[in-house]
Amino acid sequence: MYAVFTLAVYEYLTTMPYAIGMVMIDSPLNPYKPDEVKDNGVIAQNLANDFYEYLANKVIHGQVILIENTEVPKNIIDKINYVQYTKNKGFIPA
């Protein structure tokens, strides 16, 4: 719900002269991990895909920084600035 509210406020403010230019969302898909879902143990794949598609196609002005542990669909990686951090290639250098 937090991610939906944040994106709704962001979209509304982009129509105003005092628009914000950035939104940061941490782990909006985390509650939908497959091991925590009761329905056959899998989340609807279209939930994550639709979320990523929405962000890739809807956010034109400004920036949405998304910190997430799920895979980004291959068909939108070319549409976004995708940075993948691992244990060996983290945010803070050694």
User: Tell me: the pLDDT tens digits for 15-42?
Assistant: 888 877 889 999 888 776 655 555 555 5
pLDDT score at 25: 92
pLDDT of residue 5: 92
What pLDDT band is residue 46 in, cutting at 50, 70 and 90?
confident
Average pLDDT over residues 56-70: 85
The domain ranges of the chain are 2-79
Is a pLDDT exceeding 80 seen at residue 89?
Answer: no
Q: Give the pLDDT score at 14.
A: 84
Alpha carbon distance 33, 26 (integer Å): 14
Tokens of 11: 């979209």
Element holding 52 (H helix, E strand): helix 45-58
Per-residue pLDDT at 58 exceeds 80: yes
